[in-house]
Structure 1
Amino acid sequence: MHFRPAARPDLAQLLALLGDAPPADPDAHVLVTDAHERAFAAIDDDPRNELLVLDAGDGTVLGFLQATYIPGLGNNAADRALLEAVRVHPDHRSSGHGRRLVAHAVERARQRGCTLVQLTSNKARTDAHRFYENLGFTRSHDGFKLRL
């Protein structure tokens, strides 16, 4: 197992883990659309974004997340890292892979000079909340979204 940046051939596996492209079965073939291709290219081309993958060693994606590095004026003008779309393949949950993935992302943020790592989680994902709290994350804010 090793960590690496996501590559274009991983896109179908990433979408399957997200459940954003039918079918939601992570082992099934998913439809990769032009919109997915454009979004992947935009993330891949942006130095303030990373798609980090935990690779089984054979190209199989066991888990991934997106890290975005955000400059800010507050907190003595320190950067912060935002983790999004933290996913581990259902067959590999409770194996420590998620812990290793998030720890790797936190270390990457530290190396980039970030002083804070933040994330949001859907209120219905109570198992994920316990997972993040066990990693040392604290509930500090309520999040809001406005769909456009």
Structure 2
Amino acid sequence: MPALRPATRADLPAVLALLSDEERVVDPASVVVTAAYEDAFASIDEDPRNEVLVLEDPEADAPGPVVGCLQVTYIPGLGKGGVERALVEAVRVRADRRGSGLGRLLMELAVARARARGCALVQLTSDKRRTEAHRFYASLGFARSHDGFKLAL
């Protein structure tokens, strides 16, 4: 059974490898883990409203190598009756494993985790140019309900 679990510090090179290049497989041993990455991971790890989740390879002996990841931020809110929502970001599946159902599994497990936590909503944003990703999210039941805006600082 594939495991979706909170990332540990030991997973950081594998997560950074997934985030560094969406088009090719990057060897985690080649990733330089800078102090900035260490600090960011420590901040996420210490915050009960944030987590980086990793998906282990279901075809490997446990524990398998990391083949997917995402970050979830749990946001309390006064809207919608005071419910908590889950914001999903940085969704990645290793390039050589795309199309195998791992992305669907990753997202379904993350949604189940948010539901179990009591979240009433899962939200995400995706770059407008990623039309395949948009079809993927729609196939999971996500609806295009809002336009997003960002301001680079």
TM category, shorter: over 0.9
- Kindly indicate whether residue 96 of structure 2 is the aligned counterpart of residue 91 of structure 1: yes
Identify the structure with bigger relative contact order (alpha carbons < 8 Å, sequence gap 6+): 2
Structure 1 position 6, deviation (Å): 0.5
The aligned runs of 1:1-148 (5 Å cut-off) are 1-19=2-20, 25-27=25-27, 29-56=30-57, 57-148=62-153
Taking only the aligned residue pairs, the percentage that are identical comes to: 63
Q: Following the alignment from structure 1 to structure 2, what is the Cα–Cα distance between the partners of residues 146 and 35?
A: 22
AA aligned to 1:112 is: R
Given the two structures, how large is their TM-score scaled by the length of structure 1? 0.93
Query: Does the Cα contact within 8 Å between 2:44 and 2:50 map onto a contact in 1?
Result: yes
Q: Following the alignment from structure 2 to structure 1, what is the Cα–Cα distance between the partners of residues 88 and 40?
A: 17
**Helix, strand or coil at the partner of 1:102:** helix
Query: Does the Cα contact within 8 Å between 2:84 and 2:118 map onto a contact in 1?
Result: yes
AA aligned to 2:143 is: T
Query: Does the Cα contact within 8 Å between 1:79 and 1:113 map onto a contact in 2?
Result: yes
Q: Following the alignment from structure 1 to structure 2, what is the Cα–Cα distance between the partners of residues 93 and 9?
A: 24
Q: Following the alignment from structure 2 to structure 1, what is the Cα–Cα distance between the partners of residues 26 and 86?
A: 27
Structure 1 position 27, deviation (Å): 2.3
Q: How many residues align?
A: 145
* Structure 1, unpaired ranges of 5+: none
Given the two structures, how large is their TM-score scaled by the length of structure 2? 0.90
Structure 1 position 26, deviation (Å): 2.0
